[in-house]
Amino acid sequence: MNSLPTADAALAAAPAPPVDGPPIDVAAERRRTTGSTLASHFNAAGAALPTHGVVAAIVEHLRLEETKGGYEAAAERRGRLDDVYASAATLIGAESTEIALFDSASTGLRVMLDALRPQRGQRIVASSSTYVSHALHLMSLAREQGIDLVIAPYDERRRVDIAALEALLSDGVPSIVTVAHVPTSSGLVEPAAQIGEVVRRYGGTYILDATQSVGHLSVDVEEIGCDILVTTGRKFLRAPRGTGFAYVRDTLQDRLLPTAPDVRGARWTSSASWELDASARRYETWEGAVAARLGLGVALDEAIARGIPSTAQWLVAAGERLRAGLAGLDGVAVADPPGTRSAIVTFVIDGVAPADAVVELARRGVRVVSVPATHGQWDLGDRGVPSVVRASPHVYNDEADLAALVDGVAAIAAGVTR
């Protein structure tokens, strides 16, 4: 029998820092999260576990649709649907008129970028941390419309190099700068506010993909200075799949026009004319999963009530503890860039394919995912890393969960399988 390092010893090397504000009540979060009692779930960066309140809101509305019909149920819940916009705006420091609801961040990014109508002679600067869906859209625009696509220069920590970005933008070429705040492929956190300062200085348009950061880190659109922010509901917000939202700065509305206006956000006024809604709802479509959006609203309100500063500090501390615990294991290498401070932890195990490690950990009741280079060629591919195991805790993960993950990885690294 191999002698394995225990998780308690490994995790003790990274004590959690004190939290400013009310501490996270992990036990209470677990009581209202059914899935937390069934496995050690470390996939908040993919789809986090929802609370009882989120699920109840969805089921309640589906029952209403069952008895009254979809349109009638939506009309009855119109006030609660309007509240979703207000909650999203409160969470990120925006106005409700600057919020549009989508079925995913990928849809939101596509709609927003198309509404900017980038043309030949313009330039798109994208962070190396860009996710595959957005990258494919950017590459398609570059190939089909002759737009110059540039991967933003990065520093020794693989973050956007602020000085190099400023030098790039200083040539006066009209530029759209699009950045993934936190990528899917590592725990990197981009210097979003510093990027915003540079983009503003040179008159560019700044899109922030906050898919992995909203609900995870403190995100304020005024502090960051982005013109557009897009995020999903299913990840750190703990909302249902099929939900997401975008923020569009109100001063951008006059020149940001949807390429496919819909009855949701436009009024057909004559045989050859139409009027767009004055708010960001102009980018939406009529059809949407009302039940899921009501679940999103509950998740947003719960995140606000829990407190994002406290949540962020707790999550970052959990990530640091996991990173330190894994780094102390023989045959395990943490794949995150140096200095990473987030709840997304990526690693590799010598001689074990990440996909196989995911399966083996699942046998031990620990749920993680593998991320292949095909999801981040400008990051993992550029680093020559074929794939990584990704673990992302949330507020329902307790010390036993952290220990189960580290112990499971230690066992796999030592060749102990189930």
How does pLDDT run across 39-67, given as a tens digit for each residue? 999 999 999 999 999 999 999 999 999 99
pLDDT tens figures, 140-196: 999 999 999 999 999 999 999 999 999 999 999 999 999 999 999 999 999 999 999
In Å, how far are 89, 236, 294, 298, 338 from 51, measured between CA atoms? 21, 12, 13, 9, 33
Q: 79 phi and psi, to 5 degrees?
A: -65, -40
* Separation between Cα atoms, residue 318 and residue 402, nearest integer Å: 8
Q: How far is residue 92's CA from residue 246's CA, in Å, rounded to a whole number?
A: 10
Residue recorded with tokens 């980038």: 118
What structural domains and CATH numbers belong to the chain?
A: 7-50+307-413 (3.90.1150.10), 54-305 (3.40.640.10)
pLDDT band at residue 20 using 50, 70 and 90 as cut-offs: low
**Residue 11 pLDDT exceeds 70:** no
Contacts 24+ apart (CB under 8 A), 79-83: 80/294, 80/297, 81/290, 81/293, 81/294, 81/297, 83/297
Q: Strand, helix or coil at 230? A: strand
Q: What is the mean pLDDT of the chain?
A: 94
The reported pLDDT for the residue numbered 21 is 59
Q: What's the CA gap between 227 and 221, in Å, rounded?
A: 8
d(CA 31, CA 24): 13
Q: What is the pLDDT of residue 416?
A: 80
Report field, pTM of the whole predicted structure over 0.85: yes
Token pair listed for 99 = 């919020």
pLDDT in tens, 280-326: 999 999 999 999 999 999 999 999 999 999 999 999 999 999 999 99
pLDDT for 341-396, tens place per residue? 999 999 999 999 999 999 999 999 999 999 999 999 999 999 999 999 999 999 99
